[in-house]
């Protein structure tokens, strides 16, 4: 396969042809061909190859051809020849799946800015657009997509089904719904790769790793839907537990429970925007508070508490953001450190936490061993990502891990996010890494769309 950037133009000509400069024809190995199949996403049209006298790599599309493949706009784009040189593909056509009810100014509500950032990463190289589930027309095999304008607005255009779908649906309940599963399956049935498939629950991830001893040793001991007996037994052994809603996020609904023989049970959690600490002398009163008087704690994971390393008495943990590149290899593209706010159960910034670079945080704790520890954490994150992929039904292109280090330098994984947030990139020192993750997502779209250079398959 040959892959090259070229400039696309529209012409008023009405013949069934493409006009190709000689530099481009050479690159695409089109010299000597009389016709070629021109493809965008799911649409193909056969066109005559006509020469064009002009310097540089240019492709002119007459009306007929551009309407047949529904080419959305002019400008720089990748071209790839495939099928032994009989087909020239434009694109790739990248669809970002999201949701939103907003107007045309802010079609994706508060996520509009992030979607624009994602689209920009492919700007001048591919056709990237955003769409919501109701924008797909399965009868016509088209999508009524949102394209970002130069001037900050949005333009809607009908395009073919994309070459690859990057799933950024924000709602967990919508993402795991039957309707959405069907939608994603329909793309797969048309050989259109979809990543990332859907949100994980914490318990799903722990189960995926269960048979991978090398990865599982980084998961704290965990139980789903714990009974009071089980909680009591875990507290006796560990003296310290986390109770987490398996489908939760942002620290919502999390309890940190400690047991101190003679003194009783202590529960820390967040209620109405404040950190609360309660003491219970007797185990049953703790259970009553947790709403697990007699039955199980439904949809909760009870997890061995880890004594995280601390700065000034505040625990720290880390977000590792991994993206696969254009060779399908995992890259640890962004790492942020988070220090818990005073009295907070989690390190979330929303709960008073502070963002730091990993070098700052690890430097404070481990001194000149910091870079060793960071490297070990990177290695662990890649091992975890490989293990998750090996136990997933679908392709995993991106992951965000919450990792901790305990006082004996053991590395622990608290959760894996299939739709990692981008809040760590607000830190001025992490902005470049933020951009790098966007660029890698785009590179990975090229890989999945099979826009690959020769020898890079």
Ligand X SMILES: Nc1ncnc2c1ncn2[C@@H]1O[C@H](COP(=O)(O)OP(=O)(O)O)[C@@H](O)[C@H]1O
**402 lines the binding site for Mg ion (CB under 5 A):** yes
Q: Which part of the chain contacts Mg ion (CB under 5 A), choosing from 127-135, 145-153, 323-331, 408-416?
A: 408-416
Burial 233-253 (b: 16+ CB within 10 A, else e): ebbeebebbbbbbbbbbebee
Task: Tell me which residues in 344-383 interact with ligand X (CB under 6 A).
Answer: 346-347
| x-or-dash string of contact with ligand X, 66-105, rule CB under 6 A | ----------------------------------------
Q: Which part of the chain contacts ligand X (CB under 6 A), choosing from 99-107, 122-130, 245-253, 271-279?
A: 245-253
**247 lines the binding site for ligand X (CB under 6 A):** no
244 binds, among Mg ion, ligand X, none (CB under 5 to 8 A by kind): ligand X
| CB closer to Mg ion, 242 vs 265 | 242
**420 lines the binding site for ligand X (CB under 6 A):** no
Tell me how far, at minimum, the Cβ of 271 lies from ligand X, in Å. 15
DSSP type of residue 340:
P
Tell me how far, at minimum, the Cβ of 304 lies from ligand X, in Å. 6
Q: Which part of the chain contacts Mg ion (CB under 5 A), choosing from 153-161, 259-267, 384-392, 394-402?
A: 394-402
Cα distance between residue 341 and residue 339, in whole Å? 7
Cα distance between residue 227 and residue 247, in whole Å? 18
Burial 199-230 (b: 16+ CB within 10 A, else e): bbbbbbbbebbeebeebeebbbebbbbbbbee
Q: Are 294 and 228 in contact (CB under 8 A)?
A: yes
**254 lines the binding site for ligand X (CB under 6 A):** yes
**220 lines the binding site for ligand X (CB under 6 A):** yes
Ramachandran sector of residue 409 (left: φ over 0; alpha: ψ -120 to 50; beta: rest): left
Among 21, 81, 303, 443, binds ligand X (CB under 6 A): 303
Cα distance between residue 194 and residue 395, in whole Å? 7
Beta strands in 328-381 (DSSP E): 330-339, 354-356
Among 269, 414, 425, 447, binds ligand X (CB under 6 A): 414
Question: Hey, is 326 helix, strand or coil?
Answer: coil
For ligand X, the binding residues (CB under 6 A) are 220, 242, 244, 248-251, 254, 303-306, 308, 317, 346-347, 402, 404, 414-415
């Amino acid at each position: 396969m040959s892959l090259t950037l070229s400039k696309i133009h529209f012409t008023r000509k009405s013949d069934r042809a493409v006009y190709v400069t000689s530099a481009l024809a050479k690159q695409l190995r089109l010299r000597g061909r009389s016709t070629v199949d021109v493809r965008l996403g799911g649409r193909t049209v056969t066109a005559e190859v006509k020469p064009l006298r002009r310097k540089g790599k240019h492709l002119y599309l007459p009306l007929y051809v551009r309407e047949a493949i529904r080419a959305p706009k002019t400008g720089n784009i990748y071209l790839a020849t495939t099928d032994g040189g009989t087909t020239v593909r434009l694109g790739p056509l990248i669809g970002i799946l999201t949701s939103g009810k907003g107007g045309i100014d802010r079609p994706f509500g508060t996520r509009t800015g992030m979607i624009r950032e994602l689209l920009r990463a492919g700007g001048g190289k591919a056709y990237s657009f955003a769409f919501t589930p109701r924008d797909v027309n399965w009868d016509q095999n088209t999508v009524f997509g949102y394209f970002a304008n130069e001037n900050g607005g949005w333009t809607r255009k009908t395009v073919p089904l994309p070459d690859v779908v990057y799933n950024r649906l924000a709602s967990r309940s919508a993402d795991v719904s039957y309707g959405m599963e069907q939608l994603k399956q329909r793309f797969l049935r048309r050989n259109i790769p979809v990543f990332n498939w859907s949100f994980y629950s914490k318990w799903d991830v722990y189960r995926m790793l269960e048979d991978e001893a090398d990865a599982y040793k980084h998961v704290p001991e965990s139980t789903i839907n714990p009974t009071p007996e089980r909680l009591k037994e875990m507290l006796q052994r560990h003296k310290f537990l986390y109770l987490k809603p398996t489908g939760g996020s942002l620290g919502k609904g999390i309890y940190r429970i400690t047991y101190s023989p003679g003194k009783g049970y202590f529960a820390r959690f967040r209620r109405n925007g404040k950190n609360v600490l309660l003491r219970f002398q007797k185990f049953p009163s703790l259970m009553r508070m947790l709403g697990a008087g007699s039955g199980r704690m439904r949809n909760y994971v009870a997890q061995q508490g880890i004594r995280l390393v601390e700065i000034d008495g505040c625990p720290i943990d880390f977000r590792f953001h991994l993206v696969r590149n254009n060779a399908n290899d995992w890259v640890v593209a962004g790492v942020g450190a988070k220090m818990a706010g005073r009295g907070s159960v989690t390190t979330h910034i929303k709960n008073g936490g502070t963002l730091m670079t990993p070098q700052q945080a690890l430097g404070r704790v481990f001194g000149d061993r910091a870079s060793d520890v960071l490297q070990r954490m990177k290695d662990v994150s890649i091992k975890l990502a490989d293990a998750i992929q090996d136990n997933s039904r679908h392709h995993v292109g991106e992951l965000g891990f919450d990792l901790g280090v305990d006082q004996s330098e053991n590395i622990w994984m608290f959760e894996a996010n299939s739709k990692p947030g981008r809040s760590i990139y607000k830190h001025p020192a992490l902005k470049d890494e933020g951009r790098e993750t966007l660029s890698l997502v785009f590179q990975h779209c090229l890989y999945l769309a099979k826009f690959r250079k020769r020898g890079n398959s």
